[in-house]
Amino acid sequence: MLDQTQFPITKLWPAQHPERLQLYSLPTPNGVKVSIMLEEIGLPYEAHLIDIGKNETWTPEFLSLNPNGKIPSIIDPDGPGGKPLALFESGAILLYLAEKSGQFLPQDPAQRYETIQWVFFQMAAVGPMFGQLGFFHRFAGREYEDKRPLERYKNESKRLLGVLESRLEGRDWIMGQDYTIADISLLGWVRNLIGFYEARELVEFDSFPRVGQWLERGLARPAVQRGLTIPARND
């Protein structure tokens, strides 16, 4: 059971079910990694909507949990040793939930590190590059006269799609037969690139057919569909 007095974030987002894992998030590509994972493993949790449009991550209450001011973040009242564990950074949260549940991360050490390698690839390359492409193609950066940043992030995004296309040759999932946290980390980003960011033509997405088929396989999973809408947006 979570002692809410120990976690200032609960002043703005009180837990109705303090015995459950608390998720503070929004259905963005980083946020949905955690909601998809929680839906996949079936761990009971309570989701709190954090409105980044209203700068809610920059409140002292949110910053008390994540000094980096970003979603997603969690508190697990039943962390290691039965003590509460607060975590931010979606990759770290995926690893934690995989180890806690014993799911979506191979037991074999070599396979395990290979999976982690692809999660890091998503965290260090795909997320930042696709995110910048979104800014320069679809959001405020679209107005900038200098198109060199857009060109750079477009080329880098295409290169990264090429890396995924090669990896998926002869594989249904990033790790082959098994769907893992590597897939969970990447699905929302690739979906966003061609959806919300409207960059399908820009990156010539149809020239990466294996990535397209992998995305369809991922989106066909019921837990992925549920996770993509959690926490429900107000608008």
Ligand X SMILES: N[C@@H](CCC(=O)N[C@@H](CS)C(=O)NCC(=O)O)C(=O)O
- Give the footprint of ligand X on this chain (CB under 6 A): 28-31, 52, 57, 69-72, 89-90
Q: What gap in Å lies between CA 165 and CA 109, rounded to an integer?
A: 25
- Nearest distance from residue 48's CB to ligand X, in Å? 13
Any idea what DSSP says for residue 176? B
Between 119 and 202, CB nearer to ligand X: 119
Between 131 and 218, CB nearer to ligand X: 131
Between 90 and 132, CB nearer to ligand X: 90
Between 72 and 212, CB nearer to ligand X: 72
Phi, psi of 74 (to 5 degrees): -135, 160
- Nearest distance from residue 93's CB to ligand X, in Å? 7
Any idea what DSSP says for residue 75? E
The contacts of residue 51 (CB under 8 Å, 6+ apart) are 26, 234
Between 5 and 68, CB nearer to ligand X: 68
Peptide bond before 231: cis, by omega within 30 degrees of 0?
A: yes
Helical H segments across 4-64, by residue range: 9-12, 31-41, 60-63
- Nearest distance from residue 66's CB to ligand X, in Å? 8
- Nearest distance from residue 51's CB to ligand X, in Å? 10
- Nearest distance from residue 52's CB to ligand X, in Å? 4
> Of 74, 95, 75, 72, which Cα lies nearest the Cα of 83?
75
Token pair recorded at residue 11: 């002043």
